[in-house]
Amino acid sequence: MYCCCSGCARCTAPAAARVIVRAASDTALEPEAAAAALAPEPCGYELYQKSLLGVPWPSDYGDASSDDLSSEWDSDAAEPPSASAPATPVKPSGWRKLRSIVQWTPFFQTYKKKRYLWIQLAGHQGNFKAGPEQGTILKKLCPKEELCFQALMRDVLRPYVPEYKGHFTADDGEQYLQLQDLLGDFTSPCVMDCKIGVRTYLEDELAKAKEKPKLRRDMYDKMIQIDPLAPTDEEHRLKGVTKPRYMVWRETISSTATLGFRIEGIRQADGRSSKDFKTTKAREQVAEAFREFTAGYPHAIPKYIQRLKAIRATLEVSEFFATHEVIGSSLLFVHDASNANVWLIDFAKTTRLPSGLAIDHASRWVVSNHEDGYLVGVNNLLSIFKQVHQQQQQQQS
């Protein structure tokens, strides 16, 4: 059923996770060059996939995110049609009810007398609204994320994350984090969200899923929209897949498992936006998306490269980075006609490492070692941006 072989396309995934910054400096190779040079090696994903086999076959259907109350991201798929509802109706969780009450509405933001439409490219819809102060937005409170922001405000990474301005309680009692609006200083910005890391699933989420396995119909529906052949016969029969199964499948059809990041969404200056990157997997496909994203803005790529290098150097000395497993977090790329910048965003699934445990964010993940492959993603992003830039310079000369 699930792949446990040692040589198929899925199992080549974590090769990138073996890129180690230290190794690169020992051999005088640029880390991103080392990332590119490493040939895919089988088996990296094997353990991850095997661990899924430990999830008992569920008899119960779950709602979107009902197994993950701290979940920060939302599915952008439509609700499953009622005709295909599970045989036993499921009582919606409190979180689910809450989420369906708060619908996502793009809102207008005003900053420095400019008025612009603020949009969310990725993540759980309905989580944001305009902030009470100019230049701020409100993000629905996730206590885990708040702890991260509090720590980040005391860390060397502070210039690379949105400024955290504290708690905000709305009139209806809903709690929010008040954050710097990263789009505030741009005019008609182009925005790209890349989710970083070789996996998008927390170890304790996997453990939870093993204890209480649930079938997700919405995830089954999203799966067959992309590849009707992806579910097993049993999954087709039940019209459901477990969340770990879906998450790993998503990682392997995109560039997450191989390159340590994936494009979640891109919005162009004219407001056109696309989330159509679920199967953008090969390095060249990603490079093409970067070319399109930056077309007409020649200053953007050099600025992105500079900023990514600064981010990488800062990560290496950051206390926060040394002590956290960073899952489901993104790098947000923003440019307009005169500027370009990158920030680390979204920490709802970023967790403090168990005490005494250290990770290098680049070694292969095996169950319980907590490696997240964050630096694999940063190195590959840098490497691809550099490649695109060099090609563009060669074409011009």
Residues of the shown chain interacting with ligand I3P in the complex, contacts defined by CB under 6 A: 64-65, 68, 71-76, 200, 222, 243, 247, 250, 328, 349
Q: Which is nearer to ligand I3P, 258 or 294 (CB)?
A: 258
Helix axes 217-226, 243-253, angle to 10 degrees: 20
The residue written with tokens 């792949």 in the block is: 3
Cβ of 185: how many Cβ atoms within 10 Å? 16
| Shortest reach from residue 64's CB to ligand I3P, in Å | 4
Asked whether the beta carbons of 108 and 116 are under 8 A apart, the reply is: yes
Q: Which is nearer to ligand I3P, 155 or 218 (CB)?
A: 218
| Residue type at position 385 | F
| Shortest reach from residue 250's CB to ligand I3P, in Å | 5
| Shortest reach from residue 43's CB to ligand I3P, in Å | 24
For the chain, the maximum distance between any two Cα atoms, rounded to a whole number of angstroms, is 66
| Shortest reach from residue 287's CB to ligand I3P, in Å | 22
Q: Which is nearer to ligand I3P, 44 or 328 (CB)?
A: 328
Of the candidates 143, 148, 340, 361, the residue with the CA atom closest to the CA atom of residue 260: 361
Q: Which is nearer to ligand I3P, 208 or 307 (CB)?
A: 208
| Residue type at position 133 | E
Torsion angles phi and psi, residue 12, rounded to 5: -80, -5
Return d(Cα 35, Cα 19) in angstroms, integer: 5
| Shortest reach from residue 94's CB to ligand I3P, in Å | 15
Q: Which is nearer to ligand I3P, 206 or 334 (CB)?
A: 206
Q: Which is nearer to ligand I3P, 111 or 176 (CB)?
A: 176
Return d(Cα 377, Cα 259) in angstroms, integer: 6
